[in-house]
Amino acid sequence: MLSLSSLVALLSIASRVVAGVVQTQSQDFNGHSPRTTYWFAFGDSYTTTGFDPTGTLPTPGNPLGNPAFPGETGGGGENFVGFDTVTYNKSLILTYDYAAGGATINATLVAPITLALPDEVDDFLDVSAPWKSEDSLFSVWIGINDIGNTFYLDGDRSAFSDVLLDDYFAQVQRLYDAGGRNFLFINVPPTYRAPLLVSFFSPAQLLTGKSVINTFNAKMAAKVKAFKAQNRGVTTWTYDSYSTFTCILDDPTAYGLSANVTGFGDAGQFWGNSYHPSSDVHHILAKQISQQLRGTPWF
């Protein structure tokens, strides 16, 4: 039988790439160039744009660097990183998206497809951009694969989440130590409702998945609080993707989406493919994230 992680790997390779157009740099009404800020994004296929840090880097006019906008995303088309960088931005954000499809928190604990979070942080530490603490946003959205590939296993899942989160926040600490002060954390969405998992697991197993995700998210919230308390000058935001996904999946037509949340890949559906939300859903996330961060240098 094909394992879940190889299925997910195949899906990320098969995900569609849709070409788009990047707006060129505009000037404000006084003819000044907009303020330049930075966004360093970490995570998995829910965040990746397929950026290769050794390729073309972000510049005004091409704010996400390689590959061509909107990049190679998990669900196909523009994801929340693209929408927030070029549509909801209030400054010229140069976005370095180090996220990689199939990424996990710690490669020893749960095998990633290619990179794990420490590799992404290593990539960031090599960056040559002239970023400063006050104009740089760090986002982390990870845990989806760590839980998706293990929730059904024997053993104490709650204790495993503690181990995962200790390693997660050890990487966040590296970002702080390098000068990161503004952190957006995104919790794990209800992937137990994704068509891939629904077709693969029994209803009882899916309920276990739900419970493991809820426990992880509660523990993650506590880790964010502790990280903030233990480090001077930190600002954090936690975007609750779990609640957003749940609200949309429970009432998709209220968000202008198709009522069909069991299928995937058709225009207007919640799921872009069997394990990833569509670009329409990313658009909703991006808008909400920009509203949560309104008044910051980025939004």
State how far the Cα of 245 lies from the Cα of 35, in Å rounded to an integer. 33
For the chain, the distance separating the N- and C-terminal CA atoms, rounded to the nearest angstrom, is 46
Smallest gap, in angstroms, from Cβ of residue 240 to ligand NAG?
25
Position among 7, 20, 91, 240 found at the interface with ligand NAG (CB under 6 A): 91
Cβ–Cβ under 8 Å, residues 152 and 209: yes
Of 10-29, which residues contact ligand NAG (CB under 6 A)?
Answer: 23, 25-26
State how far the Cα of 30 lies from the Cα of 20, in Å rounded to an integer. 29
**235 three-class SS:** strand
Residue 86 touching ligand NAG (CB under 6 A): yes
Q: Taking contact as CB under 6 A, which single stretch among the options 10-18, 87-95, 207-215, 228-236 is the one that binds ligand NAG? A: 87-95
Position among 199, 230, 253, 260 found at the interface with ligand NAG (CB under 6 A): 260
Q: Taking contact as CB under 6 A, which single stretch among the options 65-73, 139-147, 248-256, 262-270 is the one that binds ligand NAG? A: 262-270
Of 135-164, which residues contact ligand NAG (CB under 6 A)?
Answer: none
C-beta of 64 vs 184, nearer to ligand NAG? 64
Task: Report cis status (omega within 30 of 0) of the bond before 67.
Answer: yes
State how far the Cα of 237 lies from the Cα of 186, in Å rounded to an integer. 8
Residue 268 touching ligand NAG (CB under 6 A): no
From residue 107 to residue 126, the character string flagging contacts with ligand NAG as x (rule: CB under 6 A) and all else as - is -xx--------x--------
**Residue 5 vs residues 8, 13, 45, 110, 117: alpha-carbon distances, Å:** 5, 12, 13, 10, 17
State how far the Cα of 128 lies from the Cα of 288, in Å rounded to an integer. 31
**Which residues bind to ligand NAG, rule: CB under 6 A?**
23, 25-26, 34, 63, 86, 89-92, 106, 108-109, 118, 167, 170, 260, 262-266, 269
